[in-house]
Structure 1
């Protein structure tokens, strides 16, 4: 996938994809995030088994096929994320490891806010809010 194709796409929602075992921690991190676009469609970002960042076409509002069995997975809102952060993507920065594999992507939005997703043992997602001053 060419990330420069995301520039000017408008993100209207970001949902976390969570695994829900019986002893699940309600404060657990998402296994993946799904970016939902105004124009249509969505995009999933998750950590691959080789600790690279896996990017694939989303299936919103249906869970991805790898969420099996589906009754132990669900979409949830991400509490740290405000709708004011979203909008048109203005820039995309990729980070690769020493082997050239994608390990992080950062999306910068028109208002200056950013979302960074990094792979590893689990997906790490960070939100940076634009300075309103």
Structure 2
């Protein structure tokens, strides 16, 4: 499993790529592996507001339906329609083609609650998540 160094990670297995005052958001390699084959993705619409730690959609896989929790508070600037139309992108390319949302960050201090790649790797290794 890979966890790119330049990303931040939440305990809910969501990654963020910070680009100025924006964040690109997706699920981690660990999450897609645990879920299995992803069949459907439900995401908020452009312009919607998401709140840190609140549900912002769901992912349906063969085994389960998993809630997606917002890692930060922000406004949805873009939705990856290709991932919605072809959910298997999340399995095939979770860090590039399988991104989910682009958010405008409301409070950069919320980023302090996220983990580095090394911390996230330890988290998934040490916990029965």
Asked if these proteins are the same fold (TM beyond 0.5), I'd say no
Q: Which has the higher strand share?
A: 1
Q: Which has the higher helix share?
A: 2
Highest RCO, 1 vs 2 (Cα 8 Å, sep ≥ 6) = 2
Q: Which has the larger radius of gyration?
A: 1
